[in-house]
Amino acid sequence: MTKSIAVFGAGPGVGQAIARRYGKEGYDVVLVARRQGPLDLFARDLSADGITAHVIIADLEQTGAVPALAERIRAKAGNPTVLYYGPAPTDLVFVPAVDLTAELLHDRMPITIYTLLALVREFLPAMVERGDGAILSAQGAAAVRGRPHMSGWPTVLAAQRNYLQSLAAEVAGKGVYVGMLHIGARILGTPFEADYQRRRAQGEPVPDMAAADPAALAGILWDMHSGRASHEAVVPAGLLEDDTEAIGRARSCFP
């Protein structure tokens, strides 16, 4: 039976790198994101490399649309073997903790937690029945350790991490792997990286951040999934002093 991966948040960066890596490993790929044009272009690029790719346009902030979205995915590729979840809110806002409001957290909940929960409920039963499957995520490392002036979305990401940690423990004995990659670097080839370089060239103050190759980040998740030795990794090396395993995994990410 052909394996497949549904990539939720298939924009430039890790999402597309995950799609390409799994496609090269023989998986059919379902690309899910908001914008038709970029997805069509990327799907054609994958097809040129011999990878079967399907495009589905969806707004992952609309949790109520998940059942219909799941049926569209099944119609194209069946129940996915792997679910990758890595979308970000349209308006990424980071605020000091002293300025954080309930309203800001409320706005981040659907795309960060509610939709992920709904997708897992749709696709996990088939993974358990097969005795094989994976649920993967890649998000900001601020979910692991709070940073000054970086509350908001990371606060909700920490809740996502807590949920996935619990899920990992509950399904490990059923053949389903849960893996989380926490990234504390600017990712090459993304709009964030382009804006970072523009601001630095114009002399604007920008934080000193390491750069990560999205293909290498996808490779970390692939190695985690295929090896199933650990459930979490953090990059770059040394971001968390006690994360020694992630340090070894992360070295190849940086050019």
- First and final CA of the chain: distance in angstroms? 37
pLDDT score, position 191: 78
Residue pair 140/158 in contact (Cβ under 8 Å)? The answer is no
Residue partners of 247: CB distance under 8 A and separation at least 6: 237, 238
How many angstroms from the chain centroid is the CA of residue 82? 12
**Exposed e or buried b for every residue in 25-40, given b needs 16+ CB within 10 A?**
eebbbbbbbbeeebbe
Residue pair 193/154 in contact (Cβ under 8 Å)? The answer is no
For the domain 4-253, what is the CATH superfamily, name and number?
A: NAD(P)-binding Rossmann-like Domain (3.40.50.720)
- pLDDT tens digit sequence for 72-118: 999 999 999 999 999 987 777 777 888 878 888 888 899 999 999 99
Residue partners of 76: CB distance under 8 A and separation at least 6: 30, 54, 56
- pLDDT tens digit sequence for 234-253: 988 666 544 444 334 443 44
* Domain regions of the chain by residue span: 4-253
Model confidence at 197: pLDDT above 60? yes
CA–CA distance, 196 with 141 (Å, rounded to integer)? 18
Residues constituting the chain:
255
For the entire predicted model, the pTM comes to 0.88
* CA distances to 7, 9, 82, 137, 190 from 15, in Å: 7, 6, 13, 10, 11
* CA distances to 10, 187, 236 from 59, in Å: 12, 23, 30
CA–CA distance, 62 with 65 (Å, rounded to integer)? 6
